[in-house]
Structures are given as C-alpha cells and as structure tokens.
Structure 1
C-alpha cells in the first residue's frame, strides 16, 4: 500500500501528534480511531493516501513543518502537552475523539488545576444580570481554591475569567484558534492576564484561525477538562448548551442559573433545568453539586419569626390578637372557637415568648419592633 509523502518529521509520539494536529481538524473521528488502534506515529505513516482521510491530509502536507511548530511554541513561551505527559488532563481521555495534543501558555500545571475546576460558560450577548452572576460565582469558586475554566469569548466567558482574576484566582481559557492569536481581539489583554496567572490552552497549532467548527470542538474540551459545567445564560440555540450536553454525556455535573422567564438569554438555561440540570444561584450551591461529598450549601430560608414554631392552636390565638387594643380571654375563645381554658393556656405560652402582653383590659400582641 502506498503512503502519504511525509518527510522531515522527527520520530516519536510527540512529533507525530504535532503533525496530526496540523494535518486534520480537531476531533476528526477517522484519525482518532486510527491513532487509538496503532498509536500516533504508526497511524501517521500508515494512512492510505487514497482514503478519505488520506486525501484530506494531503491538502495540508505542504504546510507541515513540525520543527517550525516547536520553534514557534518555544518563542511564544508555550509548551506541548500530549496524553502520555503527567500534565495531561485525564478528563480528556473520556472523549471518543480526544485532542491530539495541547498547546499551553501559562505557569500552572494543567492536570493539577483541572482536578478542582468548574467550567463557567454562557451567552456572548449576555445581560447585566448574567455578567454579574458569572463574575460572582467565578470569584467565589476561585476564592475557595477552584479553577475557573471557560472559553474567553465576549459575555459570560469573559466575565467568568474576570471574576477569577479579580480575587487572584486561577483560570484556564480554552481557545478555538492558536494560542498566538487572541480571539476576540478585544480580549487580547484579558488573555494575556489569564496566561500570566493560569493557562491559555488550544488543541490547534499556532497561527490557526478560530473557525466556527473549531468553537464546537473547543466546547468538548471545556466540558471534559473540568469536574462540572455551570451555564449562566444561554439561548435556545447556544454553544453553551452544546458544552452542557457533552458534559452530561461524560458523567459531568451540569448546573444552570435561572433567569427571568421572559429573558431569551435564559431560555436555554430553563430548558437545561427542565431536562435535569441542577438549578444553582450561587457559589455554595455549585460546590455542593461538584465538590466532595459533604460540602453542603447553607439552606436558604426566609425571615424567621418567634411565632413560626408555635403549636397550631397557639398560632390561632396569636393571630386573633391585636396590637392596638386588648382582648379578654372569653372574647378570644369565641373568636377562635376554643375553650377559655385552652385560650388561657395559649396566652401563657405566648407571654413567655414575649409575643403578647397583659394589661387590665386583657391581652394584646406585642409589636415586632418591641420584641428585641
């Protein structure tokens, strides 16, 4: 069988994976199957040029220069991480078509920060409410030692990174283009800060454009790199819902933040919740969902009044009393449909709890402000 005309590629798995990343698109199923069967290097040199995969690769062979890619990575201060490296995030191995390799810019050890990480994603055209929630949740996660993973897009993604950075936390940006091509351009400064404090990660080589289909491929990395995904705002057609779907398929926790039922950018979140995603409203609830067993969020309750735990009959007597005028036990008995003895007993309990007072005309309710 003839082979592709590949020359000048250094030997070894790492170099072969760099070549694969240059020759085919991220998540290519045919390439993934071949690599899984025989390994990256043997697969690369064993592709049938007449096959669909071979014909696709042949178009890009003239642009292949592994040594150049290694030099570019070094110049960028980036490193290449492959599945055999300790730094490889193990969650990516769950994917049927995992990345061939990762380009990483940043000081953190990727496998370590992904062990305690949450993806926070959502709409680009986010509302003020959504941006606030993304920042608050992400800042709370970072303060508790969790890494915030997102995609560096405008809207919720950017707010998630900003929230983590605001508290000197760690955040990871998974981008759809090369690590040398800030996208969107307006987030060049933000991506530089992420690279200084966390990591900017891509599965496509330097110089690669962030095409529409690469965003979808990028989403599967975000979904499986972390322990869970929080969707803050999402429309009915949304890449964030795609991320959530992938996370759910790979046994990751999926959470969604509710919004107004009239909000188009929250409609996707509401569908996720109806389909089984966990409704969350703050960091504590997110960590209860994705964190270790026993990391429970405080139970949210309304205002507790002294009379809330009263016996039902005592509560009836209290409701019948007025603040501005006193009432006798006999009148209360008629109002409440109780015996006078029962009323007197209830008044005794209410008096001990300082809910009622007694004067020469009878009993009255104590005003709320006077109970302290």
Structure 2
C-alpha cells in the first residue's frame, strides 16, 4: 500500500456514480460500485472505502475483523461477506454472517466520507502517513480505521502525548489536580489526551486548552456527535484547537461497552496514562490496565485516604501497577527521554538556624526556652565549652538577632 495519504475525494470519480435502482438499497448499490467488486489489483481508494464500510459492520476491537486485516485486504473481506461465503480465518457462524450482510447492505462509505469531509474531518487507515504505528501493539484488537476531526497530524501528536483519566464524578480535589497537571504538561509541549467525559476528563482537556495547548479526545461515539451534551462547548473547542478521534463512523452514539473498548485506543495511542481519581470499580482503571498490558507507563496520583474516589488509584499503586506521581515534572520523568527529562531535585529552603556554625548552634540550643533564659556559667556547663567561648558565641548570636541579654542571663528571641 502506498504510504502517501490518499485523498478521499478521489473516490468521487465515475466508479462511484451509481445508477438509480429500485430493486436494491441505494447504499448497497453505491457501495458495490465504489468498491469495484471483482476488480484487481486492490487500489488504495477501494481499500479505504472497504475499511470505511467495515466500521459500520464490526464493533471496535473486533478480533474477527482484526485477524483478517492483519493478513488480507479489507476489500476481500467485503467481497466474501457480500457473497455470503465463509472462511476458516473468519470463524463466523451463519447467524452472525447474516447480520453482517444486512449491515453491509445498508452501508454507504462514500456518504460517510462526504459527511465527515463536510465538517473538515478525514478517515485514517494503516499505511497513511498520519496513522499512529503504535496502534499495531493492539494486535487483533487494532482499529480498522480512525475518524478524525481537527488539525494537525495524529501520528506526530501521539509521539509526545499522555493520557489523563479519572472518575466522572470527581471531587474538587481531583478536578483541580487534573486541570493543573494538564496545563503544566501542555506548557511543557506535551499533548494531553482523554475521553471528553465529565469529571477528570473534562478538567484535563480544559487545563490544556487554558494555556493554548494541544489536546486530543478519543470518543466512544462518532466525532460528529457531541456526547455528553453538557460538554458540547468543550468538545467544539477541542475540535478547533485539538483533535477528536473515534473508531466509530459518523452519527454513531455511545454505549457502555463502547466506552470500555475506547479505552484501549487511548492507552495504546499515548506514551503513558495518569489516573487522577478512581473508585475501585471505576472505568478509568480499565485504561490503566490496558496501558500495563501494552507496556506503557502507568501512573497514579495519591488522594485523601478517606476518599472512595481515590481508593482505586491507591490500590493500583500499592499493587505495583502504577508509579506514584505528584506533578507534571514527575510524569514527564516517566514518559520523557531517558536522562533528558529529569525533574529538578527537590530543595528545601534552609532556616536561619541551619546556617549557623556548629559551636554557635550548640550554644543556642543550650539556652532554655522562656523569658528567664540562663547565665553564661550554666550554658558553659550545658555545652562543655569554656565560659569565654560561650560568651563570644552569645554576642555573635545577639548580633544575628537570635538572643538578647537580660542582666546576667541570656534568652532566645527567635
């Protein structure tokens, strides 16, 4: 396959201008002519149209489609399904084949491409220059293709990206941490990826957008569907300033299992995953587990031990499944270049007492607290130093503002 991205508009030539036919569904007729059934060899345009059609047939992560596409063109699978035949590699029963043929009869890949192109989007498939090669780590669960809405190269953005995920019903602590973390990562040139859901996801996207950074939302619905509705404005901003990415074709709505399947793409696409807040049964933990399976860096942020929404993260860290991180610098240390993205060593500002030399510090510590203090003779006994030396140190301490003299006694003033 040509590595150069194919302009989907090349599918608009004579081969896709289907004649009107009352005896068959318009989508089926148009699809068959567009794919050029029986033609050889398989062109990039036909392969693209076939993969677009397959996104209507199979759910994301289908091992059936994945196994086939690892060794065969998508066009051959379309032809096989249309003919009603089977194949030992497909491992499909007759009932499933019937359902897939029914879906194929309704599929119209040309219309899907036109619909997204009208919004400024595009369809990516393996072999395109913009395709993120790390998605092959998903093996049979690799995406058939990706629908993308937004500017920039997804492949290049993914090279320096990190997923920030967490609970939808996050606390104010979780929202604050996610926002600050994402903003700092974006300021350091990292792309923040999440799922555009309520809670931690939304906070992470907003944090990156707030500093003019790049953010990518991997969706469990079509990129033209704004879900959840409460995040419609946020999703619109991401499409303008970042990218919306989905395996599902235009118009498709989310379901519970599609969210779980989406998480595998989020984990594979990025260099690492940070879980900000998650209850023991949180869906965000599935992204972390996927990241572990894919040998991606998995990190967790500690929260209040009294919070149920931090219990899942704590268990993940305690079990060795994630590295404890507290800020963006520690995240970058994990996912950045070896030896090049190390955080600055933590430094505590020294107290004035820490700067005193040993003898002066010894005398200062020997003075009892309270307004009375102690005389020089008593301090000499306490420190085992000559009285003359103790007196000299006391005057130096007085000049530095640590002690003051009250008659024959010396007392501490700071």
Q: TM-score, normalised by structure 1?
A: 0.87
**What displacement does 1:275 show?**
2.2
Question: CA offsets, 1:122-152, max 9 Å, x none?
Answer: 1110111111111111111111211110100
Check the 8 A contact 1:134/1:232 in 2, yes or no: yes
Relative to structure 1, the CA distance from residue 271 to residue 342 in structure 2 (aligned partners, 3 Å threshold; closer, same or farther) is farther
Give the counterpart of 2:282 among 220, 238, 242. Answer: 238
Aligned position for 1:181: 225
Check the 8 A contact 1:329/1:344 in 2, yes or no: no
Check the 8 A contact 2:193/2:266 in 1, yes or no: yes
Question: CA offsets, 1:36-92, max 9 Å, x none?
Answer: 122333344345745236345224122211111111121222101111111112221
- Distance (whole Å) between structure 2 residues aligned to residue 350 and residue 269 of structure 1: 55
- Distance (whole Å) between structure 1 residues aligned to residue 403 and residue 247 of structure 2: 73
Where in structure 2 are there 5+ consecutive unaligned residues? Answer: 1-28, 36-42, 87-91
Alignment root-mean-square deviation, CA = 2.9
Give the counterpart of 1:30 among 45, 64, 72. Answer: 64
Q: TM-score, normalised by structure 2?
A: 0.79
- Distance (whole Å) between structure 1 residues aligned to residue 347 and residue 366 of structure 2: 26
**What displacement does 1:165 show?**
0.9
- Distance (whole Å) between structure 2 residues aligned to residue 167 and residue 136 of structure 1: 10
Question: CA offsets, 1:210-253, max 9 Å, x none?
Answer: 11111111111111111111111111011110001111211211
Segment of structure 1 superposing worse, 229-238 or 341-350: 341-350
Question: Structure 1 residue 332 and structure 2 residue 376: aligned?
Answer: no
- Distance (whole Å) between structure 2 residues aligned to residue 203 and residue 193 of structure 1: 20
Relative to structure 1, the CA distance from residue 343 to residue 307 in structure 2 (aligned partners, 3 Å threshold; closer, same or farther) is farther
Where in structure 1 are there 5+ consecutive unaligned residues? Answer: 368-372
Matches within 5 A, 1:245-264: 245-264=289-308
Aligned position for 2:335: 290
**What displacement does 1:162 show?**
0.8
Matches within 5 A, 1:289-308: 289-292=334-337, 293-301=339-347, 304-308=350-354
Equivalenced residues, count? 362
Question: CA offsets, 1:168-203, max 9 Å, x none?
Answer: 111111110111111001111111110001111111
- Distance (whole Å) between structure 2 residues aligned to residue 55 and residue 347 of structure 1: 99
